[in-house]
Amino acid sequence: TWTPGNIIEDQVAAIRAQVGDKQVICGLSGGVDSAVAAALVQRAIGDQLTCVFVDHGLLRAGEAEQVEKDFVAATGARLKVVDAADVFLGHLAGVTDPEQKRKIIGREFIRAFEGAARELDAERHIEFLVQGTLYPDVVESGGGTGTANIKSHHNVGGLPDDLQFALIEPLRTLFKDEVRALGAELGLPEEMVQRHPFPGPGLAIRIIGAVDRDRLDLLRAADLIAREELTASGLDRDVWQFPVVLLADVRSVGVQGDGRTYGHPVVLRPVSSEDAMTADWSRLPYDVIAKISTRITNEVREVNRVVLDVTSKPPGTIEWE
Ligand code: XMP
């Protein structure tokens, strides 16, 4: 019978058999899949695993800390952090085209991960790479599903020939909710295990316009408020994802405090979905929306307007870029 405990036992035995006494690397993104895969491999082979976290500076408030502190505390994993925010922001400066942003982030991500892998490999020869591939990913990449790839989604992969590792994919037969159950059983923090999906390019594709530190800070502050209020309302599980989008190149007039302001709007984009292929806008209670709107306009400087996205997918995508 399927229980998280059984799966862990089976996988631990399989990973030990596959790896022997060799060394393993795993990239952490802050997401559920890579965290659970890493925790599982850590459970199996302990210190033979080194995790690598490329911090591209595009995560939401608290997410880098979650990886660096909470994940490490929960698993005891050895973690190498690459602080690459300056590099990413440097390359992204002035770039407004969504696909261009994705290309830059994908390229720099591989570059940073590769650099860390090379350093590590020099220290201790690495033979295996852990990937948090799930069953739906396996089916999707098997082709023949007839779904068009309309955005270039990025993943770790495409490593150069002289840096080839054998893959360990302990989640290959599992669905998302099974992975969450496994993560909980492995002692990962609830906020990590229940996290909504979040795109690899991070907040860069939720700033409509060029990305810079100030804009990221604005968006982080607004996003944190939306997440806090959604959680407070008890509706986290009713929503698939809740992107908050900064219309950085749009300004509108407002009146705040003593005077006229000329600030930016943010868009709330809560959606309900089964698999992200189609989605509907979430009918969140108006009280929750109102609370978020009031708090954002009161607490986030330069934001003087909050709008709600009421578009389903299709025709809209979940993300704005
Ligand atoms: P869209 O916006 O196409 O998003 O409706 C569908 C799902 O994919 C996520 N998404 C991405 N994930 N890299 C990722 O890893 C990307 O470039 C990317 N673009 C969109 C999005 O958050 C949603 O869950």
Q: What is the pLDDT of residues 224-240, one digit of tens each?
A: 999 999 999 999 999 99
Q: 281 CA to middle of ligand 1, Å?
A: 16
Binding residues for ATP: 29-35
Q: What's the CA-to-centroid distance between 319 and ligand 1, angstroms?
A: 7
* Inter-CA distances, 2 with 44, 114, 170, 181, 182, Å: 19, 37, 15, 11, 11
Q: What is the pTM (predicted TM-score) of this model?
A: 0.92
pLDDT of residue 157: 52
Looking at per-residue pLDDT, the higher value among 115 and 158 belongs to 115
Residue-wise pLDDT for 29-77, tens only, equals: 999 999 999 999 999 999 999 999 999 999 999 999 999 999 999 999 9
For position 146, what pLDDT does the model report? Answer: 34
Which atom of ligand 1 approaches the CA of 316 most closely? Answer: 5
The best mutation among 100, 176, 309, 318 to test binding of ligand 1, ranked by most ligand atoms within 8 Å of the C-beta, falls on 318
Q: Has residue 78 got a pLDDT over 50?
A: yes
Start-end of CATH 3.30.300.10 domains in the chain: 207-308
Q: What is the pLDDT of residue 144?
A: 39
* DSSP string for residues in 109-159: HHHHHHHHHHHHHHHS-EEEEE----HHHHHHHTS-S-----S----S---
pLDDT at res. 238 = 95
Residue range(s) of every CATH 3.40.50.620 domain in the chain: 4-193
Query: How far apart are alpha carbons 275 and 295 in whole angstroms?
Result: 31
Confidence (pLDDT) at 1: 75
| Cis, peptide link before residue 315, omega less than 30° from 0 | yes
Residue 159 confidence (pLDDT) above 80: no
Name residue 60's amino acid. R
- Written out in words, the top-level CATH class of the domain with range 207-308 is alpha beta
What is the CATH code of the structural domain delimited by 4-193?
Answer: 3.40.50.620
- What pLDDT is attached to residue 154? 41
| Distance (Å) from CA 88 to ligand 1 centroid | 19
Consecutive H or E run containing 101 = helix 98-123
